[in-house]
């Protein structure tokens, strides 16, 4: 493989010029970037490369926000469950939260925005029955029912950006000030956002690409009282909530949101929850606002003769690259962190941009680049897991982030990345402008559909969890398979039928989640349209607990198609005879021992419904 150049972004830092020159040449980079905690010196900016500069819209401006703390970002959070044993209960609602990150909002009337709920009955406690004590962050409830549990849903101000908090703690930044995030809905914040950017563009003539990291609202990331992660949802809109947003929503949509619409019994509308109408209305409202405001910033960047790039992470909430408003923003590029094939495709398939870029792992931070550790192992795993997806639809560029000085101390790693970058460019030149072979068109069916293309089953950007790794494997396999993949919602089929050209529908997920579907499988139109699709030759694949809701004598509502049912304990008196494994089948003809296949987590008590059900492997049949 010959030496090539281009399509690579190299991180650098001050006082590291000669080493930057060396790696610029060895890795064939044509762009240089800074990172959170690093700056490029003037000599580095004069090298023969495009200059990316990280730009924070709604944080890293403490001099401004300290004079306008009423415009800090806000979040609705929920207290722990507290048991009443008498007719009065006092709840220390901040218990378990990190007070360096969040503080209760006493600027706005708690009785207008907060909620106290009897979690045993689900009833909202009338506001006249509870009192807030600001001096010790407690609420006293009168007239509680003994041995009922109660929670408080309350607004807090976010006073420390969670990404900077993580970086601060990981890198031991000591006295570096805590970035205070502000809400651009506020009049002072909105004016500052524009005036600062316009001046910044004048002050940074060497910047070619403004790398927005990202725009306004961080994904939901809350820390506990020990400064450890408490709740994380990469898709969470929690930090976009504010009194200003609630009032604007009521005016635009014609009804008011409750605190419960956001805290959602403490699940915070996790992407695994089937979204309510109120939540879908809310995220649509936020997406429209983010697109309008982000477009203004992008236009200002373009007017200055520079490109606008968005980082798909951190403050990405509301941008939704596969949503209805993204095109309006007018970005030149999107860059995102690559964890594997699914996240690679999540980035490379994004429409309405000139180019995409994948930031590969590991990030050059001391948690990985430390004595005794070999960062090449993570780099190799990351590259191999993404490479198959690159063969289907490559990102246009790759890059890395963090402290280049740390990576430079690991010669084996430097050698390996030199190989990776050359290999990427070779693959790109071959596959980018050719259409790969496609044998089938597959549609992934869940509650989110196209909005969350290549984002199914993720919690925190492809981190492994016992409950999801089996499903993430489907996404990984499809990301590099010779199939055309689309993502459709249950509503798509209910309203418009199965899309034209789809050959196979896949429904995968645990029962009751947004990915399996839950109650939607009681919908007659959904059921009959899929049955008709299969009757006419279409395929339907179920993984985990597909079409699952106990209704009319069935757990799997499309058990007639799937050929299986789940024993719930209700039909133990009915014998199950169809458990015999086939010795030969085209699916397993090249597999030496089907019992050695790792299928991930087992779904227990599933059995064949009829003699027509072909069983290839039966885990724990007894």
3-state SS assignment for residue 249: helix
Rounded Cα gap, residues 76 and 95, in angstroms: 15
Q: Dig out the tokens for 408 from the structure.
A: 């430079």
Token pair 């560029």 is at which residue?
397
Rounded Cα gap, residues 152 and 150, in angstroms: 7
The answer for 613, left when phi > 0, alpha when psi is -120 to 50, beta otherwise, is beta
Alpha helix ranges (H) inside 116-239: 162-170, 187-203
Half-sphere exposure (Cβ direction) of 33: Cα atoms closer than 13 Å: 27
Nearest of 332, 64, 66 to residue 199 by alpha carbon: 64
The CA-CA-CA angle for residues 318, 320, 324, to 5°, reads 100
The answer for 621, left when phi > 0, alpha when psi is -120 to 50, beta otherwise, is alpha
Rounded Cα gap, residues 354 and 262, in angstroms: 35
Q: How far is CA 319 from CA 225, 311, 322, 444, 451, in A?
A: 31, 10, 9, 22, 11
Rounded Cα gap, residues 199 and 194, in angstroms: 9
Compute the 3-state secondary structure of the chain and give helix, strand, coil in percent, each to the nearest 5: 35, 20, 45
Nearest of 609, 602, 513 to residue 553 by alpha carbon: 609
The answer for 88, left when phi > 0, alpha when psi is -120 to 50, beta otherwise, is beta
Residues labelled as active-site residues = 314
One-letter-per-residue 3-state SS of 42-65: HHHHCCCCEEEEEECCCCCCHHHH
Nearest of 455, 445, 503, 451 to residue 475 by alpha carbon: 455
Beta pairing class for 209-212 and 220-223: unpaired
Rounded Cα gap, residues 501 and 446, in angstroms: 18
589-612 CB burial, b ≥16 within 10 A, e <16 = eeeeebeeeeebeebeebbbbeee
């Amino acid at each position: 493989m010959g030496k090539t150049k281009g399509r690579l972004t190299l991180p650098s830092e001050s006082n590291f010029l000669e080493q930057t020159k060396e790696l610029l040449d060895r890795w064939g980079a044509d762009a240089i970037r800074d990172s959170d905690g690093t700056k490029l010196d003037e000599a580095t900016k004069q090298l023969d490369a495009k200059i990316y500069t990280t730009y924070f819209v709604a944080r890293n401006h403490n001099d401004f926000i300290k004079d306008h703390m009423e415009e800090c970002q806000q979040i609705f959070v929920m207290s722990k469950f507290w048991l009443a044993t008498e007719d009065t209960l006092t709840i220390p609602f901040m218990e378990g939260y990190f007070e360096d990150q969040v503080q209760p909002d006493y600027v706005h009337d708690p009785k207008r925005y907060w909620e106290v709920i009897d979690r045993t009955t689900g009833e909202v406690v009338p506001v006249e029955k509870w009192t807030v004590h600001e001096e010790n962050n407690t609420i006293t409830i009168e007239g509680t029912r003994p041995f009922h549990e109660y929670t408080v849903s309350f607004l807090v101000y976010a006073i420390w950006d969670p990404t900077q908090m993580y970086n601060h703690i990981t890198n031991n930044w000591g006295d570096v000030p805590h970035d205070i995030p502000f809400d651009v809905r506020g009049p002072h914040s909105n004016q500052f956002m524009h005036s600062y950017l316009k001046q910044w563009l004048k002050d940074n003539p060497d910047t070619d690409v403004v790398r927005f990291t990202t725009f306004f609202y961080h994904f939901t990331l809350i820390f506990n009282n020990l400064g450890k992660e408490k709740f994380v949802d990469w898709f969470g809109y929690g930090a976009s909530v504010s009194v200003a947003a609630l009032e604007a929503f009521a005016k635009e949509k014609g009804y008011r949101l409750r605190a419960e619409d956001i805290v959602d019994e403490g699940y915070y509308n996790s992407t695994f929850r089937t979204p309510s109408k109120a939540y879908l209305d809310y995220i649509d409202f936020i997406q429209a606002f983010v697109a309008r405001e982000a477009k203004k910033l992008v236009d200002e960047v373009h007017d200055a003769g520079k490109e606008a790039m968005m980082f798909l992470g951190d403050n990405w909430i509301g941008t939704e690259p596969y949503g209805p408003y993204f095109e309006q923003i007018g970005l030149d590029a999107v860059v995102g962190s690559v964890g594997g094939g699914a996240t690679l495709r999540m980035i490379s398939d994004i429409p309405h941009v000139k180019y995409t870029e994948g930031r590969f792992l590991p990030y050059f931070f001391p948690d990985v680049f430390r004595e005794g550790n070999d960062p090449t192992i993570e780099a190799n795993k990351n590259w191999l897991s993404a490479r198959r997806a690159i063969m289907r639809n490559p990102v246009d560029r790759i890059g890395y982030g963090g402290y280049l000085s740390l990576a430079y101390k690991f010669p084996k790693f430097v050698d390996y990345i030199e190989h990776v970058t050359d290999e990427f460019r070779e693959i790109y030149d071959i596959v980018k402008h050719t259409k790969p072979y496609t044998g089938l068109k597959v549609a992934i069916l869940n509650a989110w559909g196209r909005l969350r293309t290549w984002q199914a089953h993720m919690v925190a950007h492809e981190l492994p969890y016992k409950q999801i790794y089996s499903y993430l494997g489907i996404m990984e396999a499809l990301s590099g398979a010779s199939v055309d993949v689309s993502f459709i919602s249950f509503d798509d089929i209910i309203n418009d039928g199965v899309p034209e050209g789809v050959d196979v529908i896949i429904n995968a997920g645990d029962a009751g989640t947004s990915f399996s579907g839950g109650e939607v499988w009681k919908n007659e139109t959904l059921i009959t349209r899929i049955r008709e699709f299969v009757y006419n030759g279409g395929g339907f694949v179920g993984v985990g607990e597909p079409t699952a809701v106990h209704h009319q004598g069935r757990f799997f509502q499309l058990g007639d198609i799937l050929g299986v049912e789940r024993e719930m304990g209700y039909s133990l008196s009915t014998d199950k005879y169809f458990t015999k494994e086939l010795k030969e089948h085209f699916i397993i003809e090249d597999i030496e021992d089907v019992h050695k296949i790792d299928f991930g987590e087992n779904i227990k008590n599933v059995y064949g419904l009829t003699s027509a059900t072909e069983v290839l492997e039966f885990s724990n049949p007894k």
